[in-house]
Amino acid sequence: MIPRLPPLAPGLRVGLYGGSFNPAHAGHRHVSRLALRRLALDRVWWLVSPGNPLKDRSGLPGPAARAAGARAVAADPRIAVTDFEAVLGVRYTVETLRWLTDRHPEVRFVWIMGADSLASFHRWRGWREIAARMPFAVIDRPGYTLKAMASPAARALSGARIDERAAPTLAEREPPAWVFLHGPRNSLSSTALRAGKTPR
């Protein structure tokens, strides 16, 4: 079954922000708006995953339910929420990016991740292929700045890192290329929200 995607057009600059979104919160919106502005993107897609293979998925609500909650939180016409990965039947980010770039080579996709994800990026299946397939941006998160930059993936890809001042050009660059974006940080997390530790 071929999934239905948010609108696309040749040359569109689209940031891909994947996660469980269990639940989506203002921190996700903060990261997306930061990426839209700093990377000069046209759109950001929230890719509501079937479930992170590196995390416990017991008790995880279905993708459609999490996507519905995410749409209520996104509240921005430039942010599209999609659970097409579940329809496609993929489990890993590298599979998603293969599918998108093979079918839409005319679109300028950028992968967006938090600094916490860069810290564990070397554990992702096909992480080197991800870096070779698509430029990516890392958004700083409290408590992860040093861990992220000292991580195996950051060290291995150090030669592909661009200056933060060149961030608006990232979508046009041939991978591997990545940027670490500093700026106002949001400490909200879905884990804390599920535990009732912080307001939404």
pLDDT (tens digit, 9 = 90+) per residue, 31-59? 999 999 999 999 999 999 997 766 666 67
The predicted structure's pLDDT at residue 51:
77
Listing DSSP states for 31-79 in one string gives HHHHHHHHTT-SEEEEEE-S--TTS--TTPPPHHHHHHHHHHHH--TTE
Task: Give pLDDT, residue 88.
Answer: 93
Q: Where are the domains of the chain?
A: 13-195
DSSP letter at 23?
A: T
Residue 129: other Cβ atoms inside 10 A: 14
Count of CB atoms situated within 10 Å of the CB of 170: 25
Ordered per-residue pLDDT tens for the chain, 200 residues? 788 999 999 999 999 999 999 999 999 999 999 999 999 999 999 999 997 766 666 679 999 999 999 999 998 999 999 999 999 999 999 999 999 999 999 999 999 999 999 999 999 999 999 999 999 999 999 999 999 999 999 999 999 999 999 999 999 999 999 999 997 655 555 455 445 654 44
User: What pLDDT sits at residue 68?
Assistant: 96
pLDDT at 197: 52
Percent above pLDDT 90 for the chain = 82
In the DSSP assignment, the letter for residue 163 is: P
pTM: 0.90
Name the one residue in this structure whose structure tokens are 């939180």. Answer: 73
Architecture of domain 13-195: 3-Layer(aba) Sandwich (3.40)
Which is nearest to 38 in space by CA: 137, 177, 118?
A: 137
Spatial contact of 125 and 56, defined as CB atoms under 8 Å apart:
no
